[in-house]
Amino acid sequence: MKTSRIALWVWYRGDFFRGFQSQLQGPTVQDRLVAALTAVGLRSRPSPAGRTDKGVHARMQIVSLRSPIGPEELLGHLSPNPFPGFGISYARLAADGFHAQWSNVGKEYRYRIRLDGRASDRWAPFSWTPEDHPRLSGRAIRPEALAPILRALEGKRDFAAFHESSSPRRIRTIRTAELVDLGDGLAEIRISGDRFARYQVRFMVGSAVAVAAGAISRDAFGAALAGAETIAGIKAPAAGLVLWEVHYPLAIDPFGPEERRDPDGVPAEPPFESVHR
């Protein structure tokens, strides 16, 4: 039977799942999505743009799959919210050879952080209050101190001191690492790059915050970035992290700029609430 290559844009709340990838301890996003596809007669194992760990959210996760029916018909069979904490924004016919993971040229992650305890309680489950960490308790974290530390992450290096040793050492590029003030005590760390190792964003965020708080010296941080030393870093909690956007070469990108700015169906609430800048 002839099949087409389909790209699905899905979103999910990480607190509903034990990560994306199938595992015995479930529930996982992949298992629930496979079940939803099977229920409409489609036997396909979707491939994601990247795995997300337990508790990590995704505003834009792309999965590619083969389907004997076209994208519009597939969406007609699937519910836009086939199970709690998950939704499907778009289905698009993808270019020959398109693969959600291997075709992407970068991702943007956003991490929400409460710097002074004033942020709205509705953000509490979807952000990190650094003072709750025993190494950071009682330490002030000023935005003007944190911003340049984050910018120091930008560049091309192996970042081995900032990810799990189970991920292979290779050169990775952080294109941008910036701090955006969202107001009322809530800030957002935006990090974009070409590829990321396991826990890399969480270790970079946690360690940068620790430097800003004085719990890690700037010299130790710089040496770790240079690859000369390891670092006793902090892994920021999963709850504050969102896979925000996945990028593809323009010639094969299934999604347009308007869709990327204001996607259908993604809740306009934490953790997906957007501040355009």
For residue 22, list its beta bridge partners.
none
List CB contacts of 109: < 8 A, sequence separation 6 or more: 190, 191, 192, 196, 201, 241, 242, 243, 244
Torsion angle defined by CA atoms of residues 210, 206, 132 and 130, in that order, rounded to the nearest 10 degrees: 70
First to last CA, the chain: 46
Determine which helix (DSSP H) or strand (DSSP E) holds 211, and give its type and residue range.
Answer: helix 200-213
Is there a catalytic annotation at residue 53?
yes
Query: Which residue is catalytic, options 53, 116, 181, 194?
Result: 53
Write down the residue that tokens 């030393």 correspond to: 229
List CB contacts of 189: < 8 A, sequence separation 6 or more: 110, 111, 112, 113, 150, 177, 178, 179, 180, 205, 208
The conformation of residue 240, written as its DSSP 8-state character, comes to G
State phi, psi for 241 to the nearest 5 degrees: -100, 135
Q: Please give the positions annotated as active site.
A: 53
